[in-house]
Amino acid sequence: MLVSYSDSESEGEPSLKSETVIVSHTAASSVSDTKIIKRPSHSCSQPPDEVTDPLTKERKRRKLPVVDLSGNGAKDGSSAEMLPAMKCKGDWLCHAFLEVHARADLTSLLHKASKDGRSQLQGIRETEIRQGESTLHVSLTRPILVRPHERQSFVLIVKEALNDVAASTVSFARFAHLINEDESRGFIAVEISVGHDELQTMSSRLDSYLRTAFKARPYYAAKRFHFSFLTADLSTSCAPVKDGTTHDKLVKAQMLSGLARDLEGRYGPSLRALPPLRLSRLGIRVGSQVHWVTLVHVHTSM
């Protein structure tokens, strides 16, 4: 689940939303002239701990610059990802994903599973799932932080990376339990089976481009493409409904794992029986704004 990100400087900024149709084997959407902007040094970079006074020859401790960790910067609400440990004031959180349009059959199944989940565990939050609306997504990248002047470059680089990529058709494998890297949140998610290879290709391309442009960390080595629909904060209450006691993270994680097994047993066969779903819209999130790109594949005759 991708909760809408807030951004640090969105107020008063012109809207960057766009709709682009990418057609393979054409130059219409080519952005090959995109310039890769190297990051300048920011105020959050750490200078040497000690300096030498040229007059007294004495070594003095250098004060580190203050880093704004609260501010109004972007907040992460994505599924199995974690924000970088430190960010500077003014950074924008960026992310690439595929939109999941929930059909009536998928919406109905997820509502049943969500109801069961909320009836078993306290403190678990449900994604509001509305038929035909893009409230669910499949992540293709980790969230990364960029400077304000790099926002447009991020959008163009993602479009360039997936310039000739076709829409993907996916089927669903199972209900699963996932935890983010800092173990602060747990998720009940639906994993992708058919279509995994196509998503792997997209994600790997993005890894390469974003690593070159922003030194971004690649998406996970063992990629488990999924969309999540239930979220639990492992740092707060996530106890059984009839149990008011406090549980540590390990116990809470075990409870979520048990819930995933229960949902898989009840609804797994119905999930796998659903018709394939076409993922044809790429979302490029920059702060609170999303640029939508429609993926279209054109077959050329030989």
Interval 259-268 mean pLDDT: 97
CA distance 177 to 249: 14
Beta strand 168-170 pairing with 59-61: unpaired
Task: Name the more confident of 245 and 181.
Answer: 181
Give pLDDT tens digits for 85-110.
445 567 899 999 999 988 999 999 99
Q: Which distant-in-sequence residues (6+ apart) come within 8 Å of 56 by Cβ?
A: none
Interval 156-182 mean pLDDT: 94
| CATH 3.90.1140.10 fits domain 19-23+81-296 | yes
Banded model confidence at residue 217, pLDDT cuts 50, 70, 90: very high
**Cβ-contact 179, 82 below 8 angstroms:** no
pLDDT of residue 96: 98
CA distance 114 to 188: 9
pTM of the full structure: 0.68
Nearest alpha carbon to residue 260 among 100, 81, 108, 116: 116
pLDDT of residue 104: 92
- DSSP 3-state of 3: coil
Nearest alpha carbon to residue 39 among 95, 97, 96, 91: 91
Write out the E strands in the chain. 19-23, 50-52, 59-61, 92-100, 124-126, 136-139, 144-146, 168-170, 172-179, 185-192, 226-233, 277-279, 281-286, 289-296
Share of the chain above pLDDT 70, in %: 62
Q: Which distant-in-sequence residues (6+ apart) come within 8 Å of 112 by Cβ?
A: 267
Beta strand 19-23 pairing with 289-296: parallel
pLDDT of residue 297: 56
In this predicted structure, the answer to whether residue 187 has a pLDDT above a threshold of 80 is yes
Nearest alpha carbon to residue 169 among 203, 204, 193: 193
CA distance 179 to 132: 28
